[in-house]
Amino acid sequence: MIKTNLKAVIVEDEPESLQLLSNLIAANGYVTVTGSTSDPQKAIDLIIAIKPDLLFLDIKMPGKSGFEVLDDLKHFNFVKPYIVFTTAFDEFAIKAFEYSAFDYLLKPVEPQRLNDSILRCIDAKNSGKNQNTEILLNSYKKLMFRSLAGIVFIDPADIIYVEAAGNYSVFHLNNHSKETVTTLLGKIEDMLPTEKFFRISRSFIINTGYLKKIDSKRLQCIFSIDGSDIKCEISRTNISTLIEKMKLH
């Protein structure tokens, strides 16, 4: 018999998407949305307060990704909702979800797919199946790309900056190596955590953790790696935004 008084929390940064998902869940009938937020910074306090059975968690959010919310949540063992990610990620990330027993909904969310997901969550909770947080977080830490030679795995922590190169992109890494991948810079921007990475121009995404100086006269971002300076051009319109972002670090 399916338990129908399950509580759910939605964390989704786009108000329209949040409302749509809330309406679809209400129409499903098995789950009641007892809390929601468009601010990922408030997500953990909300989840702890409600202790939901299900958590619908967006991945791509400004300030804090869904994976970071999950990483924070694992420290609170008394709160263990079954987590369903809402995502526009590609097949590689989806395989990581499936392997670690996390469910996912591709945007735009389809009602039947949502119903199937809820039923799987209920079945998993009733049978005591666990979601493997470590496997998923480790998968997230290393991104997978197609390169000219095959497949390459890149840890975001190793990236100094990414440079557009026509239909390709070049990762410049902290060991002074480079990796050229067949992914456009815009797609890479969507895959990288927003709290650390910032697109400074049409041609460059930088890891702000390595940023040493912003030269507003020469329109350059300067990094220091093993005593050597590396420079990337920044558009004038992005300088003030980057400065404000750095103040939050």
Structure tokens, 48: 């702890």
Which residues does 177 contact at the CB level (< 8 Å), separation at least 6? none
**171 half-sphere exposure, CB direction, 13 A CA radius:** 27
Nearest alpha carbon to residue 55 among 26, 21, 83: 83
Inter-residue contact 14 to 86 (CB < 8 Å) = no
What own/partner pairs with CB < 8 Å and gap ≥ 24 does 144-150 have?
144/92, 145/179, 145/181, 145/182, 145/183, 146/181, 146/182, 146/183, 147/179, 147/180, 147/181, 147/182, 148/180, 148/182
pLDDT given for residue 241 in this prediction: 92
Residue 43 gets the label, from left (phi > 0), alpha (psi -120 to 50) or beta, of: alpha
Helix (H) or strand (E) holding 126: helix 111-127
What distance, in Å, lies between the first and last C-alpha atoms of the chain?
A: 49
- In whole angstroms, what is the distance from residue 64 CA to residue 53 CA? 22
Domains assigned to the chain: 6-139 (3.40.50.2300), 143-247 (2.40.50.1020)
- In whole angstroms, what is the distance from residue 144 CA to residue 92 CA? 7
> For residue 165, what is the DSSP state?
E
Inter-residue contact 221 to 206 (CB < 8 Å) = yes
Q: Could you read off the pLDDT tens digit of each residue along the chain, which spans 249 residues?
A: 455 578 999 999 999 999 999 999 999 888 999 999 999 999 999 999 999 999 999 988 888 888 889 889 988 988 889 999 888 765 545 656 765 768 888 888 999 999 999 998 888 888 888 887 877 776 666 788 899 888 888 988 899 999 999 999 999 999 889 999 999 999 999 888 888 899 999 999 999 999 999 999 999 999 988 778 899 999 999 999 999 888 876
For Cα atoms 7, 46, 128, give the angle at the middle one, nearest 5 degrees: 45
Angle of helix 91-99 relative to helix 133-141, nearest 10 degrees, comes to: 160
pLDDT given for residue 90 in this prediction: 55
pLDDT digits (tens, 9 = 90+) for 55-97: 999 988 888 888 889 889 988 988 889 999 888 765 545 656 7
- In whole angstroms, what is the distance from residue 72 CA to residue 167 CA? 36
- In whole angstroms, what is the distance from residue 173 CA to residue 179 CA? 8
pTM of the model: 0.61
Structure tokens, 8: 């759910």
